């Protein structure tokens, strides 16, 4: 029977919603599900993980070096813990992409990325070519399978669980070639782009960093996160952690509003699982309209103020 280890993503205080999605993926593999919380003080996070439905046990691995999620420190610990498991699963977020391949390499095992569907214990579906082709991959041989779960493909596990918690200590020597210096993060009151139910994104059509105010303003009215196309990021209108798409964030909001975005395939792959897509573009032939549920053809600088005025009523 499978024994699946899910690695919790958190900021030291709260569990990231991406972990609940990874637990759903683990549930499809079947068998026991354990969630590992690497932290300096795992208390709150472990409590939240224990409530996820389908989780049998939460393991807390507390040590000073686990205060910050450095791949150099977490990967050897995960590789050591993996020996007791048939599968190790993490959400395919920036955190998971940083850590899991490194842990798999240290364990000497193969890794499957962006799992969308579980066919069998060693057989999975995943996208290639920016989501245009879905392939079925089989992990050959025996031993632990390392798999990242494409977060947008999995509905988060519910919170009605009540798993037990176990403190685990791992006798793993950590490398000395890496140290945590500091974290520089954008402070934002807005929801997190990766997990927000509503997202307003701007593209090259917005024209400048200054003009992006119109996107922030609509997002704030809707309580939405702000995203962007790669062209908008490359032009310096917004920071690159706003980027949605193949080389940015893969998201699945209930509502996605694309403003001045043409709808290149590399952008669309990031919003494939969005609920309702609204596109605002002055070009009626823009490819974004082929995937949009609601299309507004016109100048964004006229449409957005009208939308805001309507929302204010
Ligand atoms: C390997 C690779 C990876 C990539 N990864 C990504 C990725 O992760 N994410 C991503 O987004 N792109 C990615 N790209 C780039 C992608 O191919 C496109 O170049 C990019 O998405 C275009 O961004 P855009 O739609 O903002 O710009 P454009 O294609 O220039 O479109 C701008 C749109 O704005 C409209 N517009 C202009 N003015 C107005 C106005 N006043 N009112 C209304 N509409 C207006 C125009 O009609 C046009 O449709 C990648 C490319 C490659 C090769």
In this predicted structure, what is the pLDDT of residue 194? 85
Q: What is the pLDDT of residues 20-34, one digit of tens each?
A: 999 999 999 999 999
Where does the pLDDT of residue 183 fall: very low under 50, low under 70, confident under 90, or very high at 90 and above?
confident
Beta bridge partners of 202: 228, 259
Q: Is the C-beta atom of 63 inside 6 A of ligand 1? A: no
| 182-205 average pLDDT score | 89
**Threshold 0.85, pTM exceeds:** no
Q: Is the C-beta atom of 301 inside 6 A of ligand 1? A: yes
Q: Kindly give the number of the ligand 1 atom that is closest to the alpha carbon of 244.
A: 9
In this predicted structure, what is the pLDDT of residue 151? 87
For ligand 1, atom 38, the nearest C-alpha belongs to 205
Distances (CA, A) of 183 to 18, 68, 107, 187: 21, 9, 28, 12
Which of 193, 205, 232, 257 most suits a substitution to test ligand 1, by most atoms within 8 Å of the C-beta? 205
Q: Is the C-beta atom of 227 inside 6 A of ligand 1? A: no
DSSP line for 184-212:
-----SSPPTTT-SEEEEE-GGG-STTTT
Where does the pLDDT of residue 84 fall: very low under 50, low under 70, confident under 90, or very high at 90 and above?
very high
Where does the pLDDT of residue 1 fall: very low under 50, low under 70, confident under 90, or very high at 90 and above?
confident
Q: Kindly give the number of the ligand 1 atom that is closest to the alpha carbon of 300.
A: 42
Where does the pLDDT of residue 170 fall: very low under 50, low under 70, confident under 90, or very high at 90 and above?
very high
Average pLDDT, the chain: 95
Q: Is the C-beta atom of 230 inside 6 A of ligand 1? A: yes
| 203-210 average pLDDT score | 98
Q: Kindly give the number of the ligand 1 atom that is closest to the alpha carbon of 260.
A: 34
In this predicted structure, what is the pLDDT of residue 112? 97
Q: What is the pLDDT of residues 99-127, one digit of tens each?
A: 999 999 999 999 999 999 999 999 999 99
Beta bridge partners of 115: 149
Distances (CA, A) of 197 to 61, 82, 191, 253: 32, 33, 9, 4
- The answer for residues whose C-beta is within 8 angstroms of residue 203's C-beta and 6 or more apart is 228, 229, 231, 232, 258, 259, 260, 261, 262, 267
Q: Kindly give the number of the ligand 1 atom that is closest to the alpha carbon of 283.
A: 47
In this predicted structure, what is the pLDDT of residue 40? 97
Where does the pLDDT of residue 264 fall: very low under 50, low under 70, confident under 90, or very high at 90 and above?
very high
- The residue ranking higher by pLDDT, 150 or 129, is 150
In this predicted structure, what is the pLDDT of residue 131? 81
Listed in order, strand segments (DSSP E) in 56-197 are 57-62, 87-91, 111-115, 117-120, 123-128, 133-138, 145-149, 164-167
In this predicted structure, what is the pLDDT of residue 187? 76
Where does the pLDDT of residue 130 fall: very low under 50, low under 70, confident under 90, or very high at 90 and above?
confident
User: What is the rounded CA–CA span in Å between residue 288 and residue 17?
Assistant: 28
């Amino acid at each position: 029977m499978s024994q699946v280890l899910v690695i919790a993503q958190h900021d030291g205080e709260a569990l990231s919603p991406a972990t609940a999605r990874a637990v759903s993926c683990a549930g499809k593999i079947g068998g026991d599900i354990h969630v590992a919380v690497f932290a300096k003080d795992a208390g709150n996070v472990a409590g939240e993980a224990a409530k996820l439905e389908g989780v049998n046990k939460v393991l807390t691995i507390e040590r000073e070096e686990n205060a910050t999620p450095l791949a150099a420190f977490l990967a050897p610990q995960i590789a050591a813990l993996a020996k007791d498991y048939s599968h190790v699963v993490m959400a395919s977020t920036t955190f998971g992409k940083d850590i899991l391949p490194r842990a798999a390499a240290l364990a000497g095992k193969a890794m499957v990325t962006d799992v969308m569907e579980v066919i069998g214990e060693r057989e999975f579906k995943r996208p290639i070519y920016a989501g245009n082709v879905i392939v079925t991959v089989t992990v050959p041989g025996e031993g632990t399978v390392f798999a990242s779960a494409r977060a947008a493909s999995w509905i988060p596990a519910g919170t009605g669980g009540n798993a037990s918690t176990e403190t685990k200590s791992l006798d793993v020597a950590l490398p000395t070639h890496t140290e945590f210096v500091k974290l520089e993060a954008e402070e934002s009151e807005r929801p997190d782009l990766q997990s927000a139910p509503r997202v307003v994104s701007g593209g090259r059509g917005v024209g400048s960093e200054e003009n992006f105010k119109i996107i922030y303003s609509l997002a704030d009215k809707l309580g939405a996160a702000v995203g962007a196309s790669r062209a908008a990021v490359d032009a310096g209108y917004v920071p690159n952690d706003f980027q949605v798409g193949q080389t940015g964030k893969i998201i699945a909001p209930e509502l996605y509003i694309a403003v001045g975005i043409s709808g290149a395939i590399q952008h669309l792959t990031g919003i494939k699982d969005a609920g309702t897509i609204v596109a605002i573009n002055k070009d009626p032939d823009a490819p974004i309209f082929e995937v949009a549920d609601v299309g507004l053809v016109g100048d964004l600088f006229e449409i957005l103020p009208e939308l805001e005025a309507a929302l204010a009523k």
